[in-house]
A and B are shown apart, each in its own frame.
Chain A
């Protein structure tokens, strides 16, 4: 059977301590796994942080990584987020030079893809898009064609559709 490498998402709830990210990163790197994306922020309880990590692994390794994460003292809970029960989103900010001839296509992209203009300067705009990985890949391709200068992309955030 071919090894099934796929991007998989994990939710990790941790004590908000200075070295906790290093411990989590260490759990991945010590086993030779790469973190594809990471996003973290505090929860309702500011002493507790929720981290969403995506990683390219096989089903066996993800199970093992989750067990190892759960063994860390500052990890309160680590578990898998499975699609489609969980929705996943990322966000990008993209800086685009404003030119007359591209205005139409830009307008169209913003309208059809739910984009937002978050900054507008003479000759340059910063746009915001959210979506799942596939959406954003496509939007980025379109933005490249529109002469995008630079962009910044968040890690994946994810949430289960209903209480399980």
Chain B
């Protein structure tokens, strides 16, 4: 049977069970779009290619499946670069299909030609330029395999126009056997060693990271933790892997971490880190990180072992088999941590939590933290929360007490303003029955505001909560604290009327300017079918606390005007 490159591409996508493409057409992908016209696959037409890649990323984070985006050559491809780097930093499996000029013209600086494989070499897990139609099917399948295996990440496939247009008689291979993930024959030995260390600990602590969510290991993680009653702290990316409503929950650690979490890390005698890479926002001053602890590090990526924090025991493995083995071995040998061995430690943690819970002071203005608290209440903690980057992101992390994995979609590694809105689109497409909220700042929301058009186009019921402080708040906070209150270029007073802007897109817009309006606006926004933009005029100069100044130990937290309760 004769097949075109476009047809082969769609065959491969179908074999990978792709149900949605996020994309934008252009000259070099006209043939793919023409074929798409005949295909069943869903295509979400975004308003900017950065929106497409972030939406594919949000789709992947919310669903645990590979997100796919399709863009044209040249500017279409370069518009995805920020999003690719974003997915790379957070290890999100996405496949980016880019158009390319015909192979014979590559290197001639032709119209809309860029060397996108060259540009993205250092921010993709891998990329391909397909030079022959004979390689097309295998390459696309391989791209998916690479994107989701091991430590996941973005993979780009560059598709020259002639390869897509050409026709072949050749049979496609029936199946592509994915290369086996190599087993870890020594997993039992390492886990036995880890359990030995755990049984000796008087102050054990676990850090959970994004790897547990990516590795779909939350359930076995919870079981293991509960069995030994080990207190849990989380990185930003790990939020939701362990329920914030559990008594063992000790909070998020790091620069804006909870007092209890940063104290716990700084005083524990055994630290088990699962699926974390020790980002500097989490560790702060590395030399002062977990100074009294033996460290066990479980991670799929050997590169993250001993890179920043020296470990006493490294277990290079997917989180699920490692935690499974730990759990099974301890069952078989009837191992537990005796109550009296860790009683003092658990009491200490309880005390830290009570002494200095996350809190804020109320006044006549809307406090952004209050909006998040109310949002949590009204959604019963069940919403998928995407965020932009800034103060609002930290407040969402602190005050939306996540109980479930794949529910907090945030740009942790790259810190990309403009991520949240398109990511929420992807999440809503992946999970049509969930409440999906983009928690945004007035600055960030303007970075991909055009995606309101996409939301309106498809009637996606995404709720946008803008914590509008008329500042680039996080920048202003640093300027207030570290730059003598010189608010250089962080003033955003000249903002659009977000309610009118929403309405211009055909989206409902709501506004609250006083604390007593918050609940009503949220309620109305959440109950209204379809998309809603909610503009909350919040306390302009509210700061995120606690705060650890970069480069100082985690114990050196500033609390601003929030006083200890005890």
Chain A interfacial positions (CB closer than 8 Å to B): 19, 22-23, 26, 30, 60, 63-64, 67-68, 70-74
Contact B303 A68 (CB under 8 A): yes
Residue of A nearest to B142 (CB): A73
Contact B117 A30 (CB under 8 A): no
Contact B122 A71 (CB under 8 A): no
CB contacts under 8 Å to A, within B288-306, are: 301-303, 305-306
Residue of A nearest to B153 (CB): A71
Residue of B nearest to A22 (CB): B121
Q: 28 interchain pairs (CB within 8 A)?
A: A19-B117, A19-B118, A19-B121, A19-B129, A22-B118, A22-B121, A23-B121, A26-B121, A26-B122, A30-B122, A60-B306, A63-B306, A64-B303, A64-B306, A64-B307, A67-B302, A67-B303, A67-B305, A68-B303, A70-B302, A71-B301, A71-B302, A71-B303, A72-B126, A73-B125, A73-B126, A73-B146, A74-B126
B301 CB to nearest A CB, Å: 7
Report the bound CA distance from A23 to B305 in whole Å: 22
- Chain B residues with CB under 8 Å of A71's CB are 301-303
CB contacts under 8 Å to A, within B179-221, are: none
Report the bound CA distance from A72 to B305 in whole Å: 17
Report the bound CA distance from A46 to B126 in whole Å: 22
A84 CB to nearest B CB, Å: 27
A20 CB to nearest B CB, Å: 11
Residue of B nearest to A71 (CB): B303
CB contacts under 8 Å to A, within B272-325, are: 301-303, 305-307
- Chain B residues with CB under 8 Å of A67's CB are 302-303, 305
User: How many residues on B have C-beta within 8 angstroms of the other chain's C-beta atoms?
Assistant: 14
Residue of B nearest to A60 (CB): B306
- Chain B residues with CB under 8 Å of A72's CB are 126
- Chain B residues with CB under 8 Å of A60's CB are 306
- Chain A residues with CB under 8 Å of B301's CB are 71
- Chain A residues with CB under 8 Å of B126's CB are 72-74
Chain B interfacial positions (CB closer than 8 Å to A): 117-118, 121-122, 125-126, 129, 146, 301-303, 305-307
Residue of B nearest to A25 (CB): B121
- Chain A residues with CB under 8 Å of B146's CB are 73
- Chain A residues with CB under 8 Å of B305's CB are 67
B123 CB to nearest A CB, Å: 10
B107 CB to nearest A CB, Å: 12
Report the bound CA distance from A163 to B427 in whole Å: 53
- Chain B residues with CB under 8 Å of A30's CB are 122
- Chain B residues with CB under 8 Å of A73's CB are 125-126, 146
- Chain A residues with CB under 8 Å of B307's CB are 64
Report the bound CA distance from A73 to B126 in whole Å: 7
- Chain A residues with CB under 8 Å of B125's CB are 73
- Chain A residues with CB under 8 Å of B118's CB are 19, 22
Report the bound CA distance from A139 to B129 in whole Å: 45
Residue of A nearest to B302 (CB): A67
- Chain B residues with CB under 8 Å of A23's CB are 121
Report the bound CA distance from A67 to B150 in whole Å: 14
A67 CB to nearest B CB, Å: 5
B93 CB to nearest A CB, Å: 14
Report the bound CA distance from A70 to B316 in whole Å: 14
- Chain B residues with CB under 8 Å of A74's CB are 126
12 new A-B contacts at CB < 8 Å, known A64-B307, A67-B303, A72-B126: A19-B117, A19-B129, A22-B121, A23-B121, A26-B121, A30-B122, A63-B306, A67-B305, A71-B301, A73-B125, A73-B126, A73-B146
B224 CB to nearest A CB, Å: 27
- Chain B residues with CB under 8 Å of A68's CB are 303
- Chain B residues with CB under 8 Å of A26's CB are 121-122
Report the bound CA distance from A1 to B209 in whole Å: 33
Report the bound CA distance from A60 to B122 in whole Å: 22
Residue of A nearest to B131 (CB): A18
B145 CB to nearest A CB, Å: 10
- Chain A residues with CB under 8 Å of B117's CB are 19
A77 CB to nearest B CB, Å: 13
Residue of A nearest to B310 (CB): A60
Report the bound CA distance from A70 to B150 in whole Å: 12
B213 CB to nearest A CB, Å: 21
- Chain A residues with CB under 8 Å of B122's CB are 26, 30
Residue of B nearest to A63 (CB): B306
Report the bound CA distance from A71 to B316 in whole Å: 13
Report the bound CA distance from A72 to B127 in whole Å: 11
Residue of B nearest to A72 (CB): B126
Shortest Cβ-Cβ A-B pairs, 7 listed: A73-B126, A67-B303, A67-B302, A30-B122, A26-B122, A68-B303, A26-B121
- Chain B residues with CB under 8 Å of A64's CB are 303, 306-307
- Chain A residues with CB under 8 Å of B121's CB are 19, 22-23, 26
B222 CB to nearest A CB, Å: 30
Report the bound CA distance from A23 to B117 in whole Å: 11
Report the bound CA distance from A60 to B305 in whole Å: 12
Residue of A nearest to B301 (CB): A71
B317 CB to nearest A CB, Å: 15
Q: Pick the most buried of A26, A70, A71, A72: most chain B CB atoms within 10 A of its CB.
A: A71
A15 CB to nearest B CB, Å: 11
- Chain A residues with CB under 8 Å of B302's CB are 67, 70-71
Residue of A nearest to B155 (CB): A73
Residue of A nearest to B304 (CB): A67
- Chain B residues with CB under 8 Å of A70's CB are 302
Report the bound CA distance from A30 to B123 in whole Å: 11
A158 CB to nearest B CB, Å: 24
Report the bound CA distance from A67 to B307 in whole Å: 10
Report the bound CA distance from A19 to B131 in whole Å: 13
A162 CB to nearest B CB, Å: 26
- Chain A residues with CB under 8 Å of B129's CB are 19
Report the bound CA distance from A88 to B215 in whole Å: 43
Report the bound CA distance from A26 to B124 in whole Å: 12
Report the bound CA distance from A119 to B129 in whole Å: 43
Report the bound CA distance from A154 to B303 in whole Å: 31
A112 CB to nearest B CB, Å: 47
